[in-house]
Amino acid sequence: MELEQSATIIEIMSIPFTHEMKLEEVPNSREGVRILKIVGPLTINNFFPLQDLSRKDASKVLILDMEETPVLDAAALGSIIGTMTAQE
């Protein structure tokens, strides 16, 4: 009985979403400024392309547009913070 209840709770708590994430470069007229738009959830399953791209970025300012990012997990947040501190 207890096992069935646990399975039901986990099923109810599960949030159905895709792990697909797209990175889009937003056109910008300011020199030295790069804007990346993140579309979709940003999680441990998919943050590596963003991490690689941001580490190689040579622009003075990197802006992450996360308006269309419904989910951000701790691993992805850590990656963003790491990027920010590396560019200081």
Collapse the DSSP code of 10 into the 3-class scheme (helix H, G, I; strand E, B; otherwise coil) and give the result.
Answer: helix
CATH number for the domain that contains residue 59: 3.30.750.24
Q: Do the domain assignments include residue 81?
A: yes
Residues of the chain falling short of pLDDT 50: 1, 6-10, 12-15
pLDDT the model gives residue 55? 83
Q: Which domain holds residue 72?
A: 18-86
pLDDT the model gives residue 58? 84
How many domains does the structure of the chain reveal? 1
Q: Do the domain assignments include residue 52?
A: yes
Q: Which residues pair with 64 in a beta bridge?
A: 36
> pLDDT by residue (tens digit) across 6-16?
444 445 444 45
